[in-house]
């Protein structure tokens, strides 16, 4: 087992792509785009070189259907080691009894949980998309809305926080088999204990989808659903800063066994062992003290950015944030979210258009933009850089409102910020 091996050459070595210039140039264009712009999409981050090294490793070649010590193919010794390491680390990170690290993505993690716990036609109850929920929580364009009877709860009209009374009322009326909490554009803390009490009252499973908050939870900066939910799903590439992928956690081993069977063979074939290896690396990084400091900076930065935007006349949904993201209503400037997002992209500030609760505008031209701090914080941005980003966002949107944006000047400011905070490759 302990043979001395030379340093492995990894796929990070772009020289090996010299014979395929079309691919090489696309990768280099993406590298330049990331370096030269300021990434403010709340679901994105910048994985470490170590994470990418593991993801580019020889584990991409290996079939390892099954689970550690229970595989369908031979030659799975190293795969068992790496997957067990990922499982042990993620259980330690979240203080969870059981974990599955094989889901290819957040959507796959959710689908596996549905397959484990539901029958077609069952009722599921999730947060309304315009209130910050996720497509996979019952939207009719996904399996979750097509194969299940999906009902939604909303946020309160006055303060835009989750309306737990509405959740309880709809749960009593519709008797869902499964209740989902979590979302993609909800900036406040979630009361997981209260959601569990409602689920227990109606005999539903509580599933917490922490795709967005996972990194903040392991840093103890956002409440953990693990003690409360029957099942927890997450991505690994958002605030957790790992490779693109999914995980599922539970404190109930019986549910864990059902979900294991649902992931494989239920909805997936062979696990992406190279991604599992990269997950193990990311979980190791998240166990370190630096990760807590990073996560605290992510939240401080979001709050500083929010204050600048608010003082500049934009409206923050819920009036602020407890996490890494801001949902910004741009209609006080007389513009819509799509126009805002497009104008920001032209100067190298990448955000996404987003609906706001009870949005009066159509999804193609919603009232808001969503802005997040995890990626730029990973390249070293602190509060003063984010205050400048806020000033630049205001300059762009005020320019749009007035009919002329100083694109060259703002691009120059973006270039100074990115040059002084290079992405370390």
Ligand X SMILES: *Cc1c(COP(=O)(O)O)cnc(C)c1O
| Residue whose C-alpha is closest to residue 203's, from 230, 183, 233 | 230
If binding is defined by CB under 6 A, does position 184 make contact with ligand X? yes
Q: Which residues ranging from 294 to 313 are in contact with ligand X (CB under 6 A)?
A: none
CA–CA dist 422, 6 (Å, integer): 30
CA–CA dist 322, 293 (Å, integer): 16
Given the complex with ligand X, which of 211 and 309 has the nearer CB atom?
211
Given the complex with ligand X, which of 182 and 368 has the nearer CB atom?
182
Least separation in angstroms between residue 204's CB and ligand X is 18
If binding is defined by CB under 6 A, does position 182 make contact with ligand X? yes
Report whether 131 contacts 161 (CB < 8 A).
no
The stretch near ligand X (CB under 6 A) out of 50-58, 89-97, 104-112, 255-263 is 104-112
Among all residues, which ones are annotated catalytic?
A: 63, 65, 209, 235, 238, 244
If binding is defined by CB under 6 A, does position 107 make contact with ligand X? yes
The stretch near ligand X (CB under 6 A) out of 93-101, 177-185, 333-341, 403-411 is 177-185
Given the complex with ligand X, which of 248 and 330 has the nearer CB atom?
248
Task: Provide the token pair at 168.
Answer: 């309880």
The stretch near ligand X (CB under 6 A) out of 74-82, 209-217, 249-257, 414-422 is 209-217
Cα–Cα distances (Å) from 162 to 41, 149, 219, 310, 359, in that order, read 23, 21, 23, 22, 16
If binding is defined by CB under 6 A, does position 217 make contact with ligand X? no
Return the residue of 105, 224, 377, 378 that touches ligand X, per CB under 6 A. 105
| DSSP reduced 3-state for 249 | strand
Q: Pattern of binders to ligand X over 40-79, x per CB under 6 A? A: ---x------------------------------------
Q: Which residues ranging from 229 to 258 are in contact with ligand X (CB under 6 A)?
A: 235, 246
Least separation in angstroms between residue 180's CB and ligand X is 9
Return the residue of 106, 126, 132, 372 that touches ligand X, per CB under 6 A. 106
Which residues are CB-neighbours of 236 under 8 A, at least 6 positions away? 214, 242, 243, 244, 245, 246, 247, 279, 282
Q: Which residues of 161-178 are buried (b: 16+ CB within 10 A; e: fewer)?
A: bbbbebbbebbeeeebbb
Given the complex with ligand X, which of 45 and 184 has the nearer CB atom?
184
Q: How many helices (H) and strands (E) does the chain have?
A: 15, 15
DSSP string, 47-106: --HHHHHHHTSGGGG----EETTEESSS--HHHHHHHHHHHHHHHHHHT-SEEE---SSH
If binding is defined by CB under 6 A, does position 225 make contact with ligand X? no
The stretch near ligand X (CB under 6 A) out of 67-75, 101-109, 219-227, 401-409 is 101-109
Which residues are CB-neighbours of 372 under 8 A, at least 6 positions away? 40, 41, 42, 43, 44, 302, 324, 325, 326
Nearest residue by C-beta to ligand X?
A: 106
Task: Provide the token pair at 19.
Answer: 């014979």
Return the residue of 128, 209, 260, 322 that touches ligand X, per CB under 6 A. 209
Query: What distance lies between CA 248 and its chain's CA centroid?
Result: 14
Tell me, by CB under 6 A, how many residues bind ligand X: 14
Give CA angle at 407 (401, 413), nearest 5°: 115
Least separation in angstroms between residue 156's CB and ligand X is 20
Please give the annotated binding residues, written as ranges. 129, 133-135, 253
Report whether 239 contacts 374 (CB < 8 A).
yes
Residue 99's DSSP bridge partners are 249
Please give the annotated binding residues for (6S)-5,6,7,8-tetrahydrofolate, written as ranges. 129, 133-135, 253
Given the complex with ligand X, which of 184 and 418 has the nearer CB atom?
184
Q: Which residues ranging from 109 to 168 are in contact with ligand X (CB under 6 A)?
A: 134, 136
Which residues of the shown chain bind ligand X in the complex (CB under 6 A)? Answer: 43, 105-107, 134, 136, 182-184, 209, 211-212, 235, 246
């Amino acid at each position: 087992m302990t043979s001395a091996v030379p340093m492995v050459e990894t796929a990070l070595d772009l020289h090996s792509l010299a014979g395929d210039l079309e691919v090489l140039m696309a990768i280099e264009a993406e590298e330049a785009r990331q370096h030269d712009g300021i990434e403010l999409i709340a679901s994105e981050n910048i994985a470490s070189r170590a994470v990418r090294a593991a993801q580019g490793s020889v584990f991409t070649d290996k079939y390892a259907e099954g689970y550690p010590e229970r595989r369908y193919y031979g030659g799975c010794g190293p795969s068992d080691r790496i997957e067990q390491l990922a499982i042990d680390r993620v259980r330690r990170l979240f203080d969870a009894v059981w974990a599955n690290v094989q889901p290819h993505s957040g959507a796959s993690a959710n689908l596996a949980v549905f397959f484990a716990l539901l029958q077609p036609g069952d009722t599921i109850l999730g947060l309304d998309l315009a209130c910050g929920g996720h497509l996979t929580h019952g939207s009719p364009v996904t399996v979750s809305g097509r194969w299940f009877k999906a009902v939604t709860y909303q946020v309160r009209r006055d303060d835009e926080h989750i309306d737990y009374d509405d959740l309880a009322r709809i749960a009593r009326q519709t008797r869902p088999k499964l209740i989902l909490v979590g979302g993609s554009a909800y900036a406040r803390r979630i009361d997981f204990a209260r959601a569990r009490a409602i689920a227990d009252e109606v005999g539903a499973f509580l599933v917490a989808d922490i795709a967005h908050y996972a990194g903040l939870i392991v840093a103890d900066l956002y409440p953990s659903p693990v003690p409360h939910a029957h099942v927890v799903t997450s991505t690994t590439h958002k605030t957790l800063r790992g490779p693109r992928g999914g995980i599922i956690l539970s404190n109930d081993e019986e549910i864990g066994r059902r979900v294991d069977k649902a992931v494989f063979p239920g909805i997936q074939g062979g696990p992406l062992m190279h991604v599992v290896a990269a997950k193990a690396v990311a979980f190791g990084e998240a166990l370190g003290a630096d990760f807590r400091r990073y996560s605290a900076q992510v939240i401080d930065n979001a709050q500083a950015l929010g204050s600048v935007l608010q003082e500049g006349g934009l409206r923050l949904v819920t009036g602020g944030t407890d996490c890494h993201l801001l949902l910004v209503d741009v209609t006080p400037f007389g513009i819509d979210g799509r126009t805002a997002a497009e104008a920001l992209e032209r100067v190298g500030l990448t955000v996404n258009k987003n609906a706001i609760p009870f949005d009066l505008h159509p999804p193609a031209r919603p009232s808001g933009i969503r802005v997040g701090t995890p990626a730029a914080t990973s390249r070293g941005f602190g509060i003063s850089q984010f205050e400048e980003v806020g000033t630049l966002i205001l300059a762009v949107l005020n320019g749009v409102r007035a009919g002329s944006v100083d694109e060259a000047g703002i691009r120059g400011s973006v270039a100074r910020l990115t040059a002084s905070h290079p992405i370390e490759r």
